[in-house]
Chains A and B, each alone.
Chain A
Amino acid sequence: MRKLLLLLLATVPVMAFAQGFQVNLHGQKQIGMGHTGTGLLQDGASVLFNPGAVAMLPENYIQAGVSPLMFKSAFNPAGTNTVYNNSNKIATPFTAYAVWGPKNSFWKLGLGVYTPFGGLTDWGTSWTGKYSLESLDLKAIYIQPTISIKLADFMSIGGGFVYNRASVNLTRAIPLSNSAGADGQAQLSGDGKGYGWNAGVYFKTESGVTVGITHRSKVNTTIDAGNAVFTVPASVQANFPQPNTFSSGIPLPSTTSLGFGFYPTSKWTLAFDMNFVHWSVYKALAFDYAKNTAVLADTYSPRNYKDALDLRVGTEYKTTDKLALRLGGGFASTAVIDGYVTPEAPDANRYYLTAGLGYKLANHLDLDLSFEYENVSARKQTNIESQLSGTFRTNVYIPGLSLAYHW
C-alpha cells in the first residue's frame, strides 16, 4: 500500500568534493621567497614558473623536492561551543624538474612533474558534517615536457604540454542507520586524466629588472569508471546497486602570472608575483553513476567559484657563496563565494609567510629548505546545499626540502 515508498528516500548521496585548493608548492627556492619565480631565474622550477625563462638558465638541472603539508582545520558549528578538528594527515606535494640544453645554445628542453592541485582532509566518521564529508584525498599530478627558446639576449619564450594524472578518494556518511544505529557510507574512488599546456615569456630589461609572464591552461580532468561503493543496511541495498561506477569531470583552472625580479645588489634579489586564477570555470561538481535507481540519482552540486587573485613578494640574500636566506609572503583571495563553503575546501582569504635557506652542499649540489605558514581566515558560513552552518578556520604548516644537481 505504501507503494514506492522508498522512491521518496531523501538520502541521495550528493557527493561533494571541491578540487580543494591550489597547491602552490613548486620549488623550495621559490617557496622560501613567497612563491615568487615568474620573473626570476632560479633553477629548474622555471619549467613551471615560467617555461619562457628556461632557455635563459645558465646551467642544466635535475632536482626534486617534497613539501609535507599539514592542513589543520577546525570547525565550530553555529550555536555551539563544540570544536571539531580534522585528523592529522600529511599530504606530500612533490616536485621534480629536469632542464637540459647544450652549453651556450639558444634552446633548452625541460620536464616537470609537480602537484598543482590536491587536498587531503579527514574529519572522521563522527563529526557533525559527516554527511557532507568524512574524508577526501585528491591528487593531481601534472607531467609537463617543455621547450624554451632564447629569441634574443633579452628575451626568451617557452611552452609545454601538460598531462594530468588525478586520483580521488572520498568518503561520506549516508543517513541510513542500520539496526545498530550506525550510518551508511559512500566511498568514491577513481583515477582520471586531463590535458593542458603551459607557456611563458621572459625579458631582461635595460634597467636590469627581469619580467615574466606565464599562462598555465585549464586542465579538464575526467574520471571514468571510478568505483562507487555504498555500504548501507541490507534492506535498502537494492537501491544502491553494487558494483557501481561513476564518472565525473573536474576543471582545474588556468593561472595567469606576471612576475618581476629586482636586483639591488649582486647578492640581493627582490621579487614580486601576481597570479590570476580563473576559478570561475568550476561551476559544479557532478557525478554520473553507471547504475542509477530512484534513490541513487546522478548528482549536481553547484560550486560557483569565482576568480581569485594571489599577490606575492619575496626576497633572497646570498650571505656567502654557500648560503642563501629567503623570506616571503603573500595574500590569496578565496575562490569560494558565500554559501558554498564546504568541509572539502573550507576556504577563505588567506595570507602566508614563508622562509627558506639554500645551502651549497657540494660544487654542483644545492640543498634548499623551506617553511611556510598559511593562515586561512575564520569564516562563518551556512552552506546553501547542506545547511551545514558554522565557522571554519584553518592553519597550514608546510616544511619542505629539495635537492638540485646542476652543471
Chain B
Amino acid sequence: MKNFKSHHILVFAGLLAFTACKTNITTPTPTAGSANFSRYIAVGNSLTAGYADGGLYRDGQLNSYPSIIAKQMASVGGGTFTQPLFTEAQANGSGYVKLTGFDPTTGSPITTPVTTNLAVTGVTAVPGFGNVTTYTKYTGDLNNYGVPGIKLQQITYAPYGNLNGYFERLLPNPTPTNNTTYLDFVTAKPFTFFTDWLGNNDALGYATSGGAGDVLTDKAQFAALYQASIAKLVAGGTGGSGAKGAVATIPDVTTIPYFTTVTVPLILANVQKSAPTVTGLYINALVPGTTSTYAPRLATANDLIVLTFPTSKMGVPTGGIPYGLHPLNPIENQYVLDAAEQAMVKDYVVSYNNTIKSIAATNGLAVFDAYTFLTNVKANGLVVNGISLSSNFVSGGIFSLDGVHLTPRGYAIVANEFIKAINSKYGSSVPLADVSAYSGVKFP
C-alpha cells in the first residue's frame, strides 16, 4: 500500500493547489467619461446632509447619499470627500429618535428620543425670527454642503446663516453676525462636479405642517433662483473652470410614509372600538378654490394625516365637544394635508420639477428624477438584491423613523440612482454601491 499512499499525497497536494486559486471575471474598467470627479461637492438640504430619524447625527452623516456617491467615485478619479461630521463624543448631533419596541396591542412602533452625546450648544433668540438651536461649529474642508431645512428660496438670503443652526455651524461667526448666502458659501471654492438636490423644502415645509405653518415658494421665484444657482454651480465655483453635475427632482409628498401611515380609516376604526356609533372624523380643511380659507368637513380616505398626529387627542372633549368627532371641534389643520392642499402642493411640485428638468437640460446636467422614482416605489415597491423594499413606515426599509428622510439603505439606493443618471449623461462608469451593505431601520 506504500504506492497508494504516495499517490494519495500527490492528489492531496494537487487539491490544495486548486483550493488556492480563484475564478476570475473580467470586469469593465471604470472610467470618468466626460466628467471630472476630482472635487465633488454636494448641495442640498437635510437629505443631502444625511439627516435621518428626525435628526442629524454622525451615523446618518456617514451614510449620506453624497458620501456614498463619493466613495464610488474614488475609482474614477474622485478626490477625498469631507463632511461636516459631528465628533465621536458628540455623535448624536441634534439628537434623533430610535425604535425601542412595538405596542403589544396595536403593533405600532414605539420610538424614544436619543438625548445623550449631543452637539447642541444652545438656543439663541433671534429678534423677529424666533429661537435658533446652535451646534458645535465645524471648521475644516467641506464637500457635503447639505443644510437641513434649507429651501431654495433661502439660498441667496444673506442673514439665513443666523436662522438655521445647521448652516450657522458651518459658518465662521456666531449667530446673528453671519452675512454669507448659502449660494456664495458653496461656490466659494473651485470644484469640478456637483450634485444639487434643493427645492424639497419649498414644498415639504408647507406639506408637513399640514398647510398651516409654512407657505409654498412662488413658482416664478423658484425658477429664477434655480436658474441663478445652476448658473453659479456650472461655473465651478470661485476660481473654477466649469463643473458638470447632477440634479434631482422633488418627490411627490404623498409618497412618503409621513403622510401615508396614520390614515383616516385607521383612526376611525380605532375610535369605533370604544365609540361604535361614530361614523366619521371631522377635519378643518382647505376650501377648494381658495388658498387659505378653511372650514370643517368630514374627512375622507384621501385626506392625509401626519405621522406625528397625537392620536390620544381623538375624542377627548374640549368645551364639551369631542375632538375630531364634531364639526365644532375638528382635527386641526396642522395635522392634516387635506385633498385640496395636496392638489395645490402637487401643482407646485410639478411646476418646480419642470423648472428643474428644463434648466438641467439647458445646462447639460444629469437628472435623477426622484419624483418618478419614488412614485414608482410607492406604487410597485422595489426589489434590490433579494430585499423587498417599499414606501411603508418602518417595514419598508427605505424611510427612516421620521417618515420623511431615508435609512442608510434608502440613501444607498438614491446614490445609485444619481450614479446611473451621471453615468448615462457623461458616459462614465462610476461603479454602483452595494445596497446590501447598508442597513434599513434598526430593530431593538
Contacts and interface: CB of A to CB of B under 8 A. Distances in A.
Given A81-B27, A83-B25, A2 B393 contact: yes
B106 interface: yes
A46 B439 CA distance: 54
Contacts of B267: 1
Given A2-B109, A3-B266, A387 B385 contact: yes
Contact of B108 (A3, A11, A236, A369): A3
A68 interface: yes
B395 A10 contact: yes
Contacts of A82: 27, 431, 434
Contact of A2 (B23, B106, B396, B429): B106
Contacts of B15: 68, 70, 90, 399
Given A74-B22, A399-B14, A367 B385 contact: no
Contact of A235 (B19, B439, B443): B443
Contact of B397 (A128, A175, A235, A399): A175
Interface in B360-401: 381, 383-390, 392-397
Nearest to A390: B25
Nearest to A74: B23
Given A10-B392, A367-B4, A387-B383, A236 B443 contact: yes
Q: Give the interface centre of B21, B386, B395, B397 by most chain A CB atoms within 10 Å.
A: B386
Contacts of A79: 416, 419-420, 423, 429, 431-432
B433 to A, nearest CB: 8
Given A4-B107, A81-B27, A369-B7, A11 B385 contact: no
Nearest to A76: B25
A127 B392 CA distance: 26
Contact of B25 (A6, A11, A391): A391
Interface in A68-90: 68, 70, 72-83, 85, 88, 90
B320 interface: no
Given A79-B432, A128-B434, A403-B4, A2 B107 contact: yes
Interface string B430-444: 011011110111111
A235 B397 CA distance: 16
Nearest to A237: B443
**How many interface residues does chain A have, given as a range?**
35 or more
Interface in A1-29: 1-12, 14
Contact of B101 (A80, A177, A235, A393): A235
Nearest to A78: B432
B429 to A, nearest CB: 8
Contacts of B339: none
B395 A73 contact: no
B443 A72 contact: no
Contacts of B397: 10, 175
Given A1-B262, A233-B443, A80 B432 contact: yes
A227 to B, nearest CB: 22
Given A3-B266, A88-B19, A393 B393 contact: no
A115 interface: no
A371 B17 CA distance: 13
Contacts of A177: 439-443
B103 to A, nearest CB: 9
Specify which of B15, B27, B393, B444 lies most central, judged by the most chain A CB atoms within 10 Å of its CB: B27
A126 interface: yes
B11 A399 contact: yes
Contacts of B21: 72
Contacts of B416: 79
B11 A5 contact: no
Given A5-B107, A387-B386, A397 B431 contact: no
A72 B22 contact: yes
| Interface hub of A10, A126, A235 (most chain B Cβ within 10 A) | A10
B377 to A, nearest CB: 12
A85 B19 CA distance: 12
Nearest to B59: A181
B24 interface: yes
Contact of B385 (A9, A90, A132): A132
A83 B385 contact: no
B261 interface: yes
A352 to B, nearest CB: 15
A3 B384 CA distance: 27
A81 B30 contact: yes
A290 interface: no
Contacts of B269: 3
Nearest to A365: B4
Contacts of B420: 79
Contacts of A386: 383, 385-386
A336 B437 CA distance: 28
Contact of A1 (B28, B106, B440): B106
Given A73-B23, A83-B24, A386-B383, A401 B11 contact: yes
Contacts of A129: 385-386, 436
Nearest to A126: B437
A179 B444 contact: yes
Interface in B144-169: none
A393 B443 contact: no
B261 A2 contact: yes
Contact of A179 (B106, B108, B383, B442): B442
A387 B388 CA distance: 10
B182 to A, nearest CB: 33
Interface in A57-106: 68, 70, 72-83, 85, 88, 90
B18 interface: yes
Nearest to B384: A387
Interface of A: 1-12, 14, 68, 70, 72-83, 85, 88, 90, 126-132, 175-181, 183, 232-236, 361, 367, 369, 371, 378, 385-388, 391, 393-395, 397, 399, 401, 403
CB-based closest 7 A-B pairs: A131-B386, A233-B443, A386-B386, A10-B388, A177-B439, A79-B432, A397-B18
Interface of B: 3-4, 7-8, 11, 14-15, 18-25, 27-30, 75, 98-99, 101-102, 106-109, 261-262, 266-267, 269-270, 311, 381, 383-390, 392-397, 416, 419-420, 423, 429, 431-432, 434-437, 439-444
Given A5-B107, A181-B439, 14 more contacts: A1-B106, A3-B108, A7-B107, A10-B381, A10-B397, A68-B15, A70-B15, A78-B432, A79-B419, A81-B431, A175-B397, A177-B442, A233-B444, A235-B101
